[in-house]
Amino acid sequence: MPNWCYTNIEVRGKTDVVKKLVEMVKSEKDEEGKATDFDFNKIVPQPKTYEECPPEYRIDSEEDARKEHLSWDEEKERNWFNWYKWNCDNWGTKWGACDANTDLITLEKPIGKTAVINIYLSTAWSPALPVYRKLQEMYPELEIKVDFADEGGGFVGRLRPDGEEEEYGSSDPEFKEVCDSVGCEYLYEDMEEDEDEDSEGWEKDYEWEN
């Protein structure tokens, strides 16, 4: 099992444009045949045919598949496709969005002609930055901010609306803000507990020495 990267995509702008984005990213059938609120293929689509697939992502034999540590099934529709390498290079993660959920509360009761939504999802090992940047390019009239954090605390960061990526350490004020945003409050709560324990240990040592 991978470490999961928890993500919150915040979108704000004109209500009609926000609605278009929400409908565009949804899919009744993603790459695994499942319905999802956020399908990467709607933003950065995988090649559908052998001919349109770049040569470096083609698999022509069982031997090729074995070299790439992929299964080989001649009856599979796209057995020629090195999905793992393509996904990592073009999506920034090996799978599509998992547990995608769109918060539509503010869309149902928009303030004037402006709306704000949050799309929560998880990706394997790393954030899907190429996908999020492409989404920003597709909707330049919207403000799209992406907060992300590794469940194990390996990284905490943000893709700003201008497309710049920032990573935060535990001493940065944004660290706690992003953790709250993606539901990883435990990352800084654990650190605060460790700091309290270290402080108590220092006080006991000091009392003993005196």
- At 113-159, the pLDDT tens digits run 888 999 999 999 999 999 999 999 999 999 999 999 999 889 999 99
Calpha distance 22→106 (Å, rounded):
13
pLDDT of residue 75: 72
- The DSSP H or E segment spanning 66 is helix 62-67
- The residue type at 7: T
Q: Are 106 and 116 in contact (CB under 8 A)?
A: yes
Give residue 70's pLDDT band: very low, low, confident or very high (50, 70, 90): confident
Q: Are 206 and 32 in contact (CB under 8 A)?
A: no
Give residue 210's pLDDT band: very low, low, confident or very high (50, 70, 90): very low
pLDDT of residue 62: 86
Calpha distance 59→207 (Å, rounded):
68
